[in-house]
Amino acid sequence: MPTSQRVVQVCLFLVAAIALVGGTLQMVLGEPDTSPRLDNVHRFMAGVYLSTGLINLWAAVTIRRQGTLVYLLALGVFFAGLGRLLSMSQVGLPAPAAVWLGYLVPELLLPVVIAVAHRATSRDPAQLAIAT
């Protein structure tokens, strides 16, 4: 497996772990200190987050067969980071700031790493020979 493909695989496993743990935790905890409507939306989105973790896990395990899906998963993480950034710009940075910035930075950087490494893999002549 080319190094660039291994980088994509590791990043997808990392995203999967974060989404599986985060989605499960948020599904269980919910958002009890708010209205029933917001708790409902929160747990619904936790389910989406959890399922995205499963998709990332599957893509990481089957990385040699993946193409466009990898870019779409990276885009989803990037959009999530943009949503967090928009929230921070509109309503402020939650406390403790270091924790929330610690979430934001990988959400904006990992998708770039994934996309660049996946592109490098798809341009690798040795990898193209294996795929055909």
pTM: 0.84
For residue range 42-81, what is the model confidence (pLDDT) as tens digits?
999 999 999 999 999 999 999 999 999 999 999 999 999 9
Find the angle CA(66)-CA(2)-CA(77) to the nearest 5 degrees.
45
Q: Which residues contact 2 (CB under 8 A, 6 or more apart)?
A: 120, 121, 124, 126, 127
Per-residue model confidence (pLDDT) at position 42: 92
13-32 per-position pLDDT tens digit? 999 999 999 999 999 999 98
